[in-house]
Amino acid sequence: MELKNYMEDFVLDKLDELIPHYPDYCWCDECKRDVAILALNHLPPKYISTEKGQILTRAECLGSQYDVEIVKQIAAAVAVVKEHPRHKTA
């Protein structure tokens, strides 16, 4: 049995979309991952079986009610990580 939390994909997709909106934020791998983790912890997991209809399910959910919530949680996560970045500042 293969399960996948596809909320993960949505958050990562949305993150890539939103990066240009935060030009002063550090988007190194570590900071990007921290934002994704923080946002995901505040969003409901959405599990699907990867065996069937993954693409369909993705398409269905994109532009859904989660869109607004995902953007909101990413914005909140950016604000938090920006204050407490874990990367090593050179």
**What minimum distance in Å lies between the beta carbon of 50 and Zn ion?**
31
As a whole number of angstroms, the distance between CA 38 and CA 49 comes to 24
Binding mask 51-90 for Zn ion (x = CB under 5 A): ------------------------------------x---
Residue of 1, 13, 2, 19 lying closest to 59 (CA atoms): 13
Give the interface size with Zn ion as a residue count (CB under 5 A): 4
Residue 46 CB contacts under 8 Å (≥ 6 apart), including other chains:
5, 6, 7, 61, 66
Rounded to the nearest 10 degrees, the angle between the axes of helix 29-41 and helix 7-18 is 130
Is there binding between residue 31 and Zn ion (CB under 5 A)? yes
| Partner residues linked to 48 by β-bridges | 4
Nearer to Zn ion, 42 or 87 (CB): 87
Q: Which range binds Zn ion by CB under 5 A, 2-10, 21-29, 40-48, 76-84? A: 21-29
The reply on whether position 26 binds Zn ion by CB under 5 A is: yes
Residues of the shown chain interacting with Zn ion in the complex, contacts defined by CB under 5 A: 26, 28, 31, 87
